[in-house]
């Protein structure tokens, strides 16, 4: 699996499709921290949401960068489309973790906070950024060109889900009681963002509950994606 991840990183880097999502998150973070001082957890909640959007964009560009013939050859070498998909997800997980660490450490190292974040809030920030980043990755898995051929449709649907995810709190308030359960179908961006913003007042159990909701959502999406990938195994078609 390690050689495949290295291959995918080199292939994605050479395609230069990383530039858009990377430039987007860098510019957004620099603008956010363009003045001093900043509140710690509110700033981290904002950059976690930026990472969610950026990782959804990066994931879509990453999954679409490989030529169809190269992908088929890679699947044959991996002996399974599911292994190829798992390797792609691990590569995206590595890129997300890299962005997570850089975004969390940057304002602390450069002194953009009003106070020292401390180890507890740094750990919460790393977990929150990682979860929202992987949430963006997990959603984008289903909108790559091998699943939805028309790029404009895939991009439009992905953007719609991102917008609905960000408006989760407002949607929850506007839904009648009988339809309130529908909020659980939306990606849990709002619960994680609110938990990070209220991290200083919420109990550890409440924080972990919000993070666990996102983790379960990500696991279900990736699990279903890998299951469907196994059924779409190129060696069987």
**Share above pLDDT 90 across residues of the chain, in percent, rounded to a whole number:** 54
Instruction: Flag whether 94 is in a domain.
Output: yes
Q: Please tell me the number of Cα atoms within 13 Å of 158 on its side-chain side.
A: 29
pLDDT at 236: 46
Range of the domain at 47: 1-232
Distance CA 191, CA 197 (A): 10
pLDDT tens profile 24-46: 999 999 999 998 889 999 999 99
Q: Which two tokens stand for residue 83?
A: 């292994």
pLDDT digits (tens, 9 = 90+) for 46-100: 999 999 999 999 999 999 888 878 878 888 887 778 888 899 999 999 999 999 9
Distance CA 59, CA 55 (A): 6
Q: Tell me which residue of 65, 45, 49, 61 sits closest to 162, measured CA to CA.
A: 49
In a domain, 83, yes or no: yes
Q: What's the confidence (pLDDT) of residue 233? A: 53
Is residue 28 included in any domain, yes or no?
A: yes
Residue 182, in any domain of the structure: yes
Asked, for residue 237, whether it belongs to a domain, the answer is no
Domains held by the chain: number: 1
Identify whether the C-beta of residue 181 lies closer than 8 Å to the C-beta of residue 44: no
Average pLDDT of every residue of the chain: 88
Q: Which of 38, 36, 60 is nearest to 47 (CA)?
A: 38
Phi-psi region of 175 (alpha: psi -120 to 50; beta: other; left: phi over 0): beta
Q: What pTM was estimated for this model as a whole?
A: 0.90
Residues of 125-164 as b/e, b for ≥16 C-beta within 10 angstroms? bbbbbbbbbbbbbbbbbbbbeeeeeeeeebeeebeebbee
Least confident range from 41-45, 118-122, 168-172: namely 168-172
- Domain assignment present for 139: yes
Is residue 108 assigned to a domain?
A: yes
Query: Does residue 237 have a pLDDT over 50?
Result: no
- The confidence score (pLDDT) of residue 222 equals 95
Residue at 132 is within a domain: yes
């Amino acid at each position: 699996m390690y050689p495949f991840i290295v291959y995918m990183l080199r292939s994605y880097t050479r395609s230069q499709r990383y530039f858009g999502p990377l430039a987007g998150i860098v510019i957004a973070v620099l603008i956010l921290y363009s003045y001093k001082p900043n509140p710690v957890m509110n700033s981290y909640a904002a950059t976690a949401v930026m990472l969610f959007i950026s990782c959804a964009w990066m994931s879509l560009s990453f999954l679409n960068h490989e030529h169809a013939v190269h992908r088929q050859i890679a699947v044959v070498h991996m002996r399974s489309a599911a292994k190829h998909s798992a390797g792609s997800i691990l590569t995206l997980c590595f890129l997300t973790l890299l962005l997570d660490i850089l975004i969390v450490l940057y304002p602390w190292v450069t002194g953009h906070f009003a106070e020292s974040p401390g180890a507890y809030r740094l750990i919460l920030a790393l977990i929150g950024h990682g979860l929202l980043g992987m949430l963006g990755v997990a959603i984008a898995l289903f909108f790559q060109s091998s699943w939805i051929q028309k790029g404009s449709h895939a991009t439009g649907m992905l953007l719609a889900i991102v917008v609905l995810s960000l408006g989760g709190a407002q949607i929850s308030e506007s839904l009648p009681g009988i339809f309130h359960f529908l909020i659980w179908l939306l990606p849990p961006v709002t619960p994680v963002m609110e938990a990070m913003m209220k991290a200083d007042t919420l109990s550890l159990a409440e924080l972990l509950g919000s993070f666990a909701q996102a983790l379960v959502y990500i696991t279900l999406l990736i699990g279903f994606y890998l299951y469907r990938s196994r059924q779409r195994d190129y060696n069987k078609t």
